[in-house]
Amino acid sequence: MPGFELFGASERKHVNDVIETGILMRYGFDGPRKGIWKAKELEAAICDTFGAQYAQLVSSGTAALTTALSALGVGYGDEVIMPSFTFVASFEAVLSVGAVPVLVDVDDTLTLDPVAVRAAITPQTKCIMPVHMCGSMADLEALQSICKEHKLLLLEDACQSIGAKFNGKYLGTIGDAGTFSFDFVKTITCAEGGVVLTNHKDVYTTSDGYSDHGHDHLGVDRGADLHPFIGYNYRISELHAAVGLAQVQRLPEFLAIQHKNHSALKAILSQVPEISFRRIPDPAGDSCTFLSWFLPTAEITEAVVAELKAQNILAGNFYWYNNNWHYIRKWDHLKQSITLNALHPDLKAAVIHHATKDFSASDAIMSRVISSAISLLWTEEQIKERGEKIVAAVKKVLAAQTATA
């Protein structure tokens, strides 16, 4: 899955360009940097690669979400509808701007259930934030329709689905804004980094300033910049941008390998009638970073996970239902609204309310799914071995279930 698996000469070359100048900061120091502007180059490459009009690099995917929410004007009193299956950064970003994360159920796409989204809309709803989990997409056609009907913002958290498409357009470029994460285990990596994508100039301009202490970046002297509003320090460094510049140029290579390995593993698992697969709204657009597959019941799934662990082949196969980082079931810190900085009592009460709702519909999905990460380094023999071991584990559990029925 991640680009860190295939570091090479290109990454080293771009990093060395920066080291030779000694200018690691993305802004200022125009003379000493000798024309080396890796962050600017990467932003241009991102726009060219993904078809967005504007891209603003930041220090992480979390910073990208926080910046995008602020640039879109989401804040105090606003509600942001988001899925119960995501990474903790999604609700952290919403809370960081003073808004309320309204978590709702996912469906068999492993993303926002449009029916649950409709049911969650209130007069305070300002934004719908689908999270395109595990390389694939939410039902954007339905979500776009809901946003249009209710005049809501659509912010795509595409941090886990770089390179995936919906109806021919890259995820992250379809809504009012979108975000990527370039952390160490994403499809392409900067080691740490993120980006806000948008086709709206005002969203870009405010993202640009917000991520750099409110600088307007309109002059040639950084010290003389004006500050139209208060911002924060979410800057990316030139070193991180240099790694990303090499990686974005290799995206077609990475995606091609993922598609090949994904297809090979899926063909093996498809031999088991009891295994079904995630529903993908646009199958041609899947980036294939994961193969997500379902078993008939939660009991069978838990038994298969235990068998994979017993055979030492669980690594790379994720059972999100028991995962601390990605599913509402284990987010006790959110359910209790435990923060180091005191929240307004009304916000704290709202957080607790939405985090402790009934998510049985999500449980019915997440308790039966296992996601197998797709490596770029697998050989055909390794895929065959891995797939056959998973199939054998599943068949062993199914046989035991039948024997005890």
Interhelix angle 238-249/9-21, nearest 10 degrees: 150
348 is catalytic: no
Mean pLDDT value of segment 245-265: 97
Nearest in space to 183 (alpha carbons), one of 41, 63, 325: 63
Q: What is the pLDDT of residues 5-16, one digit of tens each?
A: 999 999 999 999
Q: What is the pLDDT of residues 50-63, one digit of tens each?
A: 999 999 999 999 99
The pair of three-digit structure tokens given for residue 403, joined into one six-digit string = 């024997």
Please spell the DSSP secondary structure of 98-134, one letter per residue.
T-EEEEE-B-TTSSB-HHHHHHH--TTEEEE--B-GG
Buried b (16+ CB within 10 A) or exposed e, 12-23: eebbebbeebeb
Catalytic residue among 38, 126, 186, 384: 186
pLDDT of residue 405: 66
- How high does pLDDT run on average in the chain? 96
33, pLDDT greater than 80: yes
pLDDT of residue 149: 98
Q: What is the pLDDT of residues 134-190, one digit of tens each?
A: 999 999 999 999 999 999 999 999 999 999 999 999 999 999 999 999 999 999 999
Sorted by where each starts, the structural domains of the chain and their CATH numbers stand as 3-251 (3.40.640.10), 255-326+361-404 (3.90.1150.10)
